[in-house]
Structure 1
């Protein structure tokens, strides 16, 4: 089966491509560097010719509110139109748990817009909403830092390892379209501030984590359950301790 992975060289894409290729599938790892650009439409027709499945893992180079919305709307329209023309049977997209519950977050609003385009396209689809990746805990801490303190909301958080995300994406690509949404999350749920404090301690970072109910998460206020699944979700197998052990071993 031919599967095109848009964003196939990124963190999740490269792992998903490897899993699918190991399964014997014809996988195209598409990205602007390979001549496939969803913003301009360049190379889409050629890449999608004969494809049964398209996995969209594209991401905006800018997280500024207007730019990220334009990226996902433009990219989504071009990609879905090309899929319709090529007769693609299944569109798989990676989104975020809580996108529709954090309206102050511009990135989340852009992902909601992307999801709406998918649902209206007529292409059979599966949307996978994931919680935040463990690989980004350091960047989150940096974004919340003022001097030697890190202000983080006590809202619940359930980060997932990228290996588990890639496995879920690959599994969805090989399954029948859900025409609906799957939610995935890490195996451990705890207050956001406690998880960040645990991460900083594990990496030997002396910054102090302050529990601040008013702390923003990339511009959005975090309620108790803004960032975790509300209902049934598929849980990853890799907990924080195992993820940190693997990360340390790779370094």
Structure 2
């Protein structure tokens, strides 16, 4: 099967491509470096020729609402329109658990992406997943100063590889609409995760102090609320295997998902 990956050069996209390739599928990467611009639509029609399934793991790093909504609006509309013209039979998009409860900033952009997928005219599946194991380290990288103030919140982190495997399982099957929420094996404190990343020497050594955040984000709003598939690799296992040394490492390879 010929499968196109939007955002295929990113952390998640690279894993999705590896899983698809290992299963014998033909992979097309949709990225600027491959001559495709999701924001303008340039190169999309040519790249999607003969493609049966599209997987969207494209991303924007800004937490600002207007930037995130603008990106997912333009990229989503261009991708869905091109997929329709190409006769794509199944579109799969990666989203985030809890964005309908934590409706701020970046999450508004992901909600807009889901709306576009639902109304795009191509049979679809959306997989909402929790934060990746990399989340705490990425947050520390963005925090300046001698002290890192990390939001006091609970997350249920999952290995990127396990997310990629779940996306591929959806992609090769029939469209499901909203799939069950995918989460890691256990709930963690984001503050404790950040402290463990620092203690392991994977981030700049400095004190990590909790920062109270109001509303749903601080009260478990990003945790799954119902049954669904759960990953196997814990945050501590990922950290011990060197997962925080940088993006793109192959952690969680070959691990099965288990359902709660």
Indicate whether the TM-score tops 0.5.
yes
| 1:195 aligns to 2:193 (yes or no) | yes
Deviation at 1:122, TM superposition (A): 2.2
Deviation at 1:240, TM superposition (A): 1.5
Larger helix fraction of residues: 1
Instruction: Report what 1:207 is aligned to.
Output: 206
Unaligned runs of 5+ in 1: none
- Give the secondary-structure state (helix, strand or coil) at the position aligned to 1:183: coil
Deviation at 1:129, TM superposition (A): 1.0
Instruction: Report what 1:96 is aligned to.
Output: 96
Instruction: Report what 1:7 is aligned to.
Output: 7
CA pair 207-233 structure 1, distance change in 2 beyond 3 A: farther
**Equivalences for 1:58-137 in 2 at 5 Å?**
58-60=58-60, 62-104=62-104, 106-137=105-136
Instruction: Report what 1:141 is aligned to.
Output: 140
Q: Deviations over 1:223-247 (max 9, x none)?
A: 3221111111311121122211222
CA pair 227-144 structure 1, distance change in 2 beyond 3 A: farther
Instruction: Report what 1:182 is aligned to.
Output: 180
Instruction: Report what 2:256 is aligned to.
Output: none
Confirm or deny: 8 A CA contact 1:157 1:195 kept in the other structure: no
- Give the secondary-structure state (helix, strand or coil) at the position aligned to 2:125: strand
Confirm or deny: 8 A CA contact 1:152 1:209 kept in the other structure: no
Number of aligned residue pairs: give it: 245
CA pair 93-249 structure 1, distance change in 2 beyond 3 A: closer
- Give the secondary-structure state (helix, strand or coil) at the position aligned to 2:242: helix
Instruction: Report what 1:41 is aligned to.
Output: 41
Q: Deviations over 1:4-31 (max 9, x none)?
A: 0111111011111011011111111221
Instruction: Report what 1:227 is aligned to.
Output: 222
Confirm or deny: 8 A CA contact 2:62 2:106 kept in the other structure: no
Q: Deviations over 1:194-228 (max 9, x none)?
A: 2322332233754333333337xxxx862322111
Cα distance in 2 between the residues matched to 1:212 and 1:9: 33
- Give the secondary-structure state (helix, strand or coil) at the position aligned to 1:126: strand
CA pair 57-149 structure 1, distance change in 2 beyond 3 A: closer
- Give the secondary-structure state (helix, strand or coil) at the position aligned to 2:118: helix
CA RMSD of aligned residues (A): 2.2
Confirm or deny: 8 A CA contact 2:125 2:176 kept in the other structure: yes
Cα distance in 1 between the residues matched to 2:148 and 2:10: 31
Confirm or deny: 8 A CA contact 1:41 1:78 kept in the other structure: yes
Deviation at 1:130, TM superposition (A): 1.2
